[in-house]
Amino acid sequence: LLGRSGVDMMEIPRGLSIGASTSAYQVEGGWNASDKGVSVWDAFTHEESSLIKDRENGDIACDSYHKYQEDVALAKNMGLQHYRFSVSWTRILPNGSPENVSRVGIRYYKNLIDELHTYGIEPVVTLYHWDHPQSFEEVGGWANDNMIDYFVEYARVVFRELGSRVKIWSTVNEPIIYCQFFDFGMNDDTRKYRCAHNLLKAHAKVYHMYQREFKDRQHGQVGIVLLCHNYYSLNGIDAEAEDIAFEFGCGWLANPIFSKDGDYPAVMKQKVAEESKYQGFTKSKLPKLSSSWIEYIKGSSDYFGLNHYTSFMVEQHPHLNDSGILKSDNPIWKKGVSDWLNIIPEGFGEVLRIIKEKYNNPPVYVLENGLSTTAGIEDLDRIKFLHDYMKQMIMAITHDGCNVQKYTVWSLLDTFEWKEAYRNRFGLVHVDFTNNRRMRTPKLSSKWLHEVITQRQLIKPDEFMKQFRAASYV
Ligand code: GBH
């Protein structure tokens, strides 16, 4: 493929929308602004600050609650076609009850969305990125079946209030990750499976509620966002290990929603049942989905929301855990500053092809992909990462026919990176967290992305640097 300048370059496929992402708790701040209620992350960071790097919290974060116009201006200057953000549950329903809707909270999101529309940036809105009301946590959180209906009530309010302005909704961001790493209850397997079970049902109920109550008038899409890693077997030939690892991660909720037959992956049902027995449980730790739930959940997503960052090495290791899979890194792999983030661009293509094969080529919206770096704005590492990952994605689209329609960088801004706080920076834009003004400075990667979007060419990092240096020294 020849680019405009005659050098070998890849075109961005027509129809692929390019954007960036954030989430409410990670950027908004304003944790107690007006009548906002307390979320699990407010409570956790305040009460268990020793478990967070530098005892930090998201009380102010990027202060996007006050600076959303600046954020949208940054997105616009980058030429972003869509912006993914999440709604804070407790900003909308301060005490969790749908009887008490915060007008101030609704106003904030209306303003943000209107600002995006002013510049032709499409809002992609997540209902739940892990920050539910603390009052619900006190009665068991996602291990409590009542959460399903609390979530439906909350979603109904958001659709009613914001639905005329939004065409793309996501229900839950990475449910499995929430249940595995951030669930605030006792972290035993049984609870983890129950948490995922309830999040899956909650997702499906919200999907059907939207179809019944809003779709006719609002014409939007509703989907779920799943984290899918890629796996390479350690000995290079154990395809079974790779598949088991995939099914216990991505497949856990993708299979019930996107596969032809629905239900949890067969290998997962089998392995968890065997391991439960081995551990002396009288029945499987993995709850059963009844046939009516299987039917109800199947097909309950208008697109496959995909977050992808990394690949792991895997080998089979019976009884190590329910999957019998041991994950590791290849010592030659490069990493971001996040310990878990191995830089493996080819793995992205693999995951896209696996999704195409397993789930009958659904429309894929890549809703997160990005690299963590330390502070600083000369982020050549990030440019290289985004270039190499996007290249693999474009090859998966053009050579393999993968139906990828959106690509979204995590993140628009440096954010509160959960337990890693402000050290691991994923932003296209640098944020100065040491100063209350939270000054934003676009990094080099945002200039690169702007060129990619406006020229519709995947500009090579060294080409970009040459042009950039030439331009800045005239
Ligand atoms: C995404 O999860 C999140 O959706 C987003 O909010 C976040 O900012 C982004 O990643 C970048 O991290 O290292 O063992 O303590 C991606 C997957 C899973 C990565 C949990 C960090 C922490 C586990 N994340 N993991 S560990």
> Mind listing the pLDDT tens digit for each residue in 190-233?
999 999 999 999 999 999 999 999 999 999 999 999 999 999 99
Q: What is the pTM of this model?
A: 0.97
What is the structure's pLDDT at 1? 41
Residue of 25, 53, 174 best suited for mutating to test ligand 1, as the one with most atoms within 8 Å of CB: 174
* pLDDT reading at 275 higher than 60: yes
Q: What is the mean pLDDT of residues 415-443?
A: 97
3-state SS class at 134: helix
* pLDDT reading at 4 higher than 60: no
What is the structure's pLDDT at 182? 79
User: Please, which pLDDT band fits residue 3 given cuts at 50, 70 and 90?
Assistant: very low
21 Cβ below 6 A of ligand 1: no
What is the structure's pLDDT at 9? 79
Angle formed at CA 310 by CA 12 and CA 341, multiple of 5 degrees? 120
Quote the mean pLDDT of the chain: 96
State the residue for tokens 């697109």.
Answer: 303
CB 183 within 8 Å of CB 276: no
Q: Which residues are catalytic?
A: 174, 368
Least confident of 1-10, 325-334, 385-394: 1-10
Ligand 1 atom index nearest CA of 426 = 11
How many whole angstroms separate alpha carbon 33 and alpha carbon 68?
Answer: 15
373 Cβ below 6 A of ligand 1: no
User: Please, which pLDDT band fits residue 473 given cuts at 50, 70 and 90?
Assistant: low
How many whole angstroms separate alpha carbon 257 and alpha carbon 44?
Answer: 31
3-state SS class at 458: strand
3-state SS class at 351: helix
* pLDDT one-digit tens code per residue, 29-45: 999 999 999 999 999 99
* pLDDT reading at 2 higher than 60: no
Ligand 1 atom index nearest CA of 417 = 8
307 Cβ below 6 A of ligand 1: yes
Report the DSSP pairing between strands 168-173 and 221-227: parallel
408 alpha carbon to ligand 1 midpoint, in Å?
Answer: 16
User: Please, which pLDDT band fits residue 137 given cuts at 50, 70 and 90?
Assistant: very high
* pLDDT reading at 471 higher than 90: no
Q: What is the mean pLDDT of residues 42-61?
A: 96
229 alpha carbon to ligand 1 midpoint, in Å?
Answer: 12
Q: What is the mean pLDDT of residues 18-28?
A: 99
Kindly state the DSSP code that residue 181 receives in the 8-state scheme.
Answer: I
CB 350 within 8 Å of CB 230: yes
Terminal alpha carbon distance of the chain: 31
Residue nearest ligand 1's atom 8 by CA: 417
426 Cβ below 6 A of ligand 1: yes
Residue 411, preceding bond cis, omega within 30 degrees? Answer: yes
Least confident of 5-19, 191-205, 241-255, 385-399: 5-19
Ligand 1 atom index nearest CA of 411 = 8
40: its two tokens: 């699990």
User: Please, which pLDDT band fits residue 7 given cuts at 50, 70 and 90?
Assistant: low
Report the DSSP pairing between strands 325-328 and 311-316: antiparallel
What is the structure's pLDDT at 207? 99
Percent of the chain past pLDDT 90, that is, above it, reads 94
How many whole angstroms separate alpha carbon 243 and alpha carbon 93?
Answer: 41
Q: Work out the number of other CB atoms within 10 angstroms of the CB of residue 380.
A: 16
Residue nearest ligand 1's atom 23 by CA: 181
How many whole angstroms separate alpha carbon 221 and alpha carbon 168?
Answer: 5
* pLDDT reading at 265 higher than 60: yes
408 Cβ below 6 A of ligand 1: no
125: its two tokens: 């809105």
What is the structure's pLDDT at 186? 62
227 Cβ below 6 A of ligand 1: yes
417 Cβ below 6 A of ligand 1: yes
11 alpha carbon to ligand 1 midpoint, in Å?
Answer: 30
What is the structure's pLDDT at 185? 66
Range 375-378 contact pairs with CB under 8 angstroms and sequence separation of 24 or more: 375/414, 375/425, 375/430, 376/430, 376/443, 377/430, 377/441, 377/442, 377/443, 377/444, 378/443, 378/444
What is the structure's pLDDT at 5? 52
Among 423, 450, 420, 428, which residue's Cα sits nearest to residue 368? Answer: 428
